Amino acid sequence: MAQGNVGINSEYGDWGWSADAGERARLLQSPSVDTVPKADGEEGDPRSTSTLGAVFIVVNACLGAGLLNFPAAFSTAGGVAAGVALQIAMLVFIISGLVILAYCSQASNERTYQEAVWAVCGRLSGVLCEVAIAVYTFGTCIAFLIIIGDQQDKIIAALLKEPEGPSSGGHWYTDRKFTISLTAVIFILPLSIPREIGFQKYASSLSVLGTWYVTAIVIIKYIWPDKEMVPREIPTRPASWMAVFNAMPTICFGFQCHVSSVPVFNSMRRPRVKTWGGVVTAAMVIALFVYLGTGICGFLTFGVSVDPDVLLSYPSDDVPVAIARAFIILSVLTSYPILHFCGRAVLEGLWLRYKGEALEEDVVRERRRRLLQTATWFLLTLLLALFIPDIGKVISVIGGLAACFIFVFPGLCLIQAKLSEIEEVKPTSWWLLVSYGVLMVTLGAFIFGQTTANAIFVDLMA
C-alpha cells in the first residue's frame, strides 16, 4: 500500500488518495507526535511511537490547564464522594470512546479524528465534527487568555504589593486588560502566524511539568496549610442531581484527549486495538489520580469558597504558588498557538472542500487567508477573554462540547460501524455494542444540551 493519508475530501465508500490530505492530517496531530505514515510491514519503524511512549503522549494530551477547575467541580458536584464517583463512572465511557475511535480509524484507514468520523459516519457528521473542533479550540484559546490574566493579576499584586482586582486603584500598566493584551500581542500572536510549528515537543513537556507541579503544590498546601487558609463550608452530598451534571463539563474538558488520540494510535509501532486499550487505560488512570489529587485537596482546603481557578484562592505572596502560576502562564503561552493551529487547519479544510481546491493549487491565497484567519481568531479570542473574566463560564460552555468528542461522535461511529457489517444473523455481542453506542450518543447529547443551556441561561446571562 502506498504511503499517504486518506483524502479528507473523499466520501464514505470512495476513499481516494489526496495530496493535500496528508498536510491537513499532519496539522491536526497531537502536538508531541511525529507521525510518519507506515506502509505495510513497517511496524518496527524506529521513528514510530512505543507503547510506553504512547501512554506518556496520551497523558500529556489529557492533562492541562483544565485541572485548575477541578476543585470547583468537586464543590459543584457536592463533595468528595460525589466528585470521585462521577469521575470514575465517566472514565468507563472515556476509555471505551478512545478504543472505539482506534477501531474505526483502523477499519476506515483514516489517521485523524475528524477524518475517521467523516469516513465512518458520512458527510453530515464529518462536517459537524470539524465545526465542533473549530469551536472547541476557539473556546479553549479564550480560556487560556483568561488563565494568563488570572495568574498575572496575582503575580503583579505580589511584586508591587498592591491590592488585587479591577477596582484596586493600581497603575494603568497593571490593569488586567492591558497586561493580557500586551502578553498576547508580544508572545502569542507571533507564534500563531507561521504555517508550521516546530516547538510542539517542548511545549508539551513544559505543560506536563507545570501540571504536575501545580498538583504537588495543591496537595502540599492541603497537608501543611497556611494559617490564613481556613476552609468554609465543605458539603458532603449534592444539592441536587442537576448539580452533579453541572460538574460534568469540567470533567469532560479535563479528560478530553480524543481529538488527538487517533494520530497517536496510528503513530504506534504496532497500532492494534487491543494494545491501544491497555495504553489508554493506563493513561486515564494516571490522569485520574492527578485530577483527584488536585480536586480533592483543593476542595478540602477552601471548601465552597474555592475559586473556579484554584490558584486564585491562594495568597499572592506565596512563593511556591507563584512558581506554579509562572509554570501555568508559560504552558498556556505555548499551548494557545497549538490549539489555534488545529482550529485554523480545520477551517482551512472546510474552506478548501467548499471551493473544491487542493492545497497546492492555492499557495498564494493560502498565505493571505492564513494571515486573515489568524488575525481574526486572535482578536476575537482576546476581546472575549477581556470581557469574560471567569474561566468557569468558558469551561461550562466548551466542556459541554467536549462531551460530544467523548460520547456522541464515538457512539455514532460504533453504531455505524456495526450497522455496516454484513451478517444475516446478528449475534448478541452485535446488539450489545449497538445498544452501547446508542447509550453513549444519548448520554453525550444530554450532557451537551443540559450543560450548554445551563451555561447560557445561568452563567453567561447572569
| DSSP output for 101-170 | HHHHHHHHT--SHHHHHHHHH-HHHHHHHHHHHHHHHHHHHHHHHHHHHHHHHHHHHHHHT---STTS--
Count of structural domains within the chain:
1
267's grid cell: 503513530
Taking all residues of the chain, what is their mean pLDDT, rounded to a whole number? 82
pLDDT of residue 112: 87
The Cα–Cα gap between 228 and 233 comes to 15
> Is residue 68 in some structural domain?
yes
> Is residue 70 in some structural domain?
yes
Handedness of CA 449, 455, 460, 462 (dihedral sign): positive
Res. 393 pLDDT band, cuts 50 70 90: confident
With a threshold of 0.85, does the pTM exceed it?
Answer: no
Res. 397 pLDDT band, cuts 50 70 90: confident
Say if residue 299's pLDDT is above 80: yes
Residue keyed to cell 469574560:
388
> Is residue 254 in some structural domain?
yes
CATH number of the domain within which 257 lies? 1.20.1740.10
> Is residue 74 in some structural domain?
yes
pLDDT of residue 8: 32
Per-residue pLDDT tens over the stretch 6-60: 333 334 333 333 333 333 333 343 333 334 444 444 444 555 788 888 898 888 8
- Give yes or no for a contact between 120 and 413, defined as CB atoms under 8 angstroms apart: yes
The neighbour count for residue 193, using CB atoms within 10 Å, is 13
Phi-psi region of 124 (alpha: psi -120 to 50; beta: other; left: phi over 0): alpha
By residue range, what is the domain housing residue 201?
48-163+170-390
- Across the range 267-296, mean pLDDT stands at 93
pLDDT of residue 383: 96
Res. 353 pLDDT band, cuts 50 70 90: confident
- Across the range 455-459, mean pLDDT stands at 68
- 331-355 burial, b if ≥16 CB within 10 A, otherwise e? bbbbbbbbbbbbbbbbbbbbebbee
- Give yes or no for a contact between 399 and 249, defined as CB atoms under 8 angstroms apart: yes
> Is residue 11 in some structural domain?
no
> Is residue 118 in some structural domain?
yes
Res. 423 pLDDT band, cuts 50 70 90: confident
> Is residue 383 in some structural domain?
yes
Per-residue pLDDT tens over the stretch 98-151: 999 999 999 999 888 999 999 999 989 999 999 999 999 999 999 999 999 999
pLDDT of residue 414: 95
280's grid cell: 489508554
pLDDT of residue 124: 92
DSSP run (H or E) holding 91 = helix 80-108
> Is residue 410 in some structural domain?
no
Comparing 197-206, 245-254, 312-321, 358-367, the range with the smallest average pLDDT is: 197-206
